[in-house]
Amino acid sequence: MPDDEDDNEAAPPLHQQRDQPPGVPPLALTGERTLPDVPEENYWFARHLVVYDWIAAQIAGRRVVDMACGEGYGSDALARAGATAVVGVDANPEAHEHARLRYVRDNLRFVRTMVQTYDEPCDAIVFLQTIEHVEEPGALLARFRELVGSGVVYVSTPNVLTLAPPGAERSGNPWHVYEYRPEEFAALCGAHFGSVRLYGLFHARKLAVHQVALKLGWDRVHPRLRLTKRFYDRFVPAIDARDFVLRPGTARELRGALDLVAVLRS
């Protein structure tokens, strides 16, 4: 698969969602968020969705807040899995309008506000692939701890060790304030929560095979054979959540992870 930035966040606004329900305005792929229904974005969408699905299996019967919910697909996954109530929080007006029109469930609603000012108590907070955008992450985590009380907070972020080009200190993503190494992410979370459980997201199935192929020189072969577009036009849309796997580990053990996921409790 062609090398790309996490979330495809550095991509220009060349694509927008296809085949939206009647009355639901499609969102453009501006580079600030990941979207479903954009074939070229499918790798990043599946990479995010697998974490939402993993969390969804653990939050049945809880009141859940999906902070910085974006398009709303993650909030919908959490609500579909049996949470008592899910609130998707996002400040972007286009994303909020799209989410509330597209994802309609009795146990799901969307609130347009900043994650720093949302103040309804809950049992669980989900905050995925966003802390790298935050100017004061410590203050935000402290606020999350107050909102959930004895509940749980799920936070994820891309691992700069696999996100940035070899030898670079960070990626070129203009939306990221800071990109974390596993040890840094663990320390940030541990400064505000007594219990920190770390997981790493890795390639599985066909993506693991593709990763081996890249190491063997696949990127030198497909351009010479003029297969690049034909191959990836089929390969990328076929990726799904089963092509990723979450594994627990220490910060050192997760240095090769694509994304880092922390489960936090007071």
Q: Residue 6 pLDDT more than 60?
A: no
Count of other CB atoms within 10 angstroms of residue 34: 26
Q: Indicate the SS3 state at residue 48.
A: helix
pLDDT averaged over the chain? Answer: 93
pLDDT band at 20 (very low <50, low <70, confident <90, very high): very high
pLDDT band at 166 (very low <50, low <70, confident <90, very high): confident
Q: Residue 171 pLDDT more than 50?
A: yes
Any domain includes 225: yes
How are strands ordered across the β-sheet holding 63-67? 108-112, 85-90, 63-67, 124-128, 152-158, 259-265, 195-203, 244-248
**Mean of the pLDDT values across residues 149-166?**
95
For position 5, what pLDDT does the model report?
A: 40
Q: Residue 80 pLDDT more than 70?
A: yes
Q: Give the CA angle between residues 240, 242, 245 to the nearest 5°.
A: 125
Number of domains in the chain: 1
Closest CA to 158 of 28, 30, 44, 58: 44
Interatomic CA distance for residues 107 and 8, integer angstroms? 30
Extract long-range pairs of 205-213: CB within 8 Å, 24+ residues apart: 205/242, 205/243, 206/235, 206/238, 206/239, 206/243, 207/1, 207/239, 207/243, 207/244, 208/243, 210/1, 210/235
Any domain includes 8: no
Residue 1 or 258, more confident: 258
Q: Which residue has the tokens 């969408």?
A: 45
Q: Residue 31 pLDDT more than 60?
A: yes
For position 14, what pLDDT does the model report?
A: 60
Any domain includes 66: no
Q: Residue 13 pLDDT more than 90?
A: no
For position 172, what pLDDT does the model report?
A: 87
Q: Residue 147 pLDDT more than 70?
A: yes
Compute the chain's Rg from CA coordinates.
18
Interatomic CA distance for residues 36 and 18, integer angstroms? 9
Instruction: HSE, CB side, 13 Å, CA atoms: give it for residue 107.
Output: 19
Kindly give, in sequence order, each residue whose CB lies less than 8 Å from that of residue 220, ignoring residues fewer than 6 positions away.
Answer: none
Any domain includes 173: yes
Residue spans of alpha helices (H) in the chain: 42-56, 73-80, 93-102, 137-148, 160-163, 182-190, 205-215, 218-224, 228-235
For position 264, what pLDDT does the model report?
A: 98
Q: Indicate the SS3 state at residue 50.
A: helix
pLDDT in tens, 176-199: 999 999 999 999 999 999 999 999
* CATH number of the domain bearing residue 53: 3.40.50
Pairing of strands 63-67, 152-158: unpaired
Q: At how many degrees (to 10) do helices 42-56 and 73-80 cross?
A: 30
For position 15, what pLDDT does the model report?
A: 84
**Mean of the pLDDT values across residues 109-127?**
96
Question: Could you tell me the two tokens for 228?
Answer: 């690049």
Any domain includes 29: no
Any domain includes 116: no
Any domain includes 107: no
Range of the domain at 191: 40-59+123-265
Any domain includes 49: yes
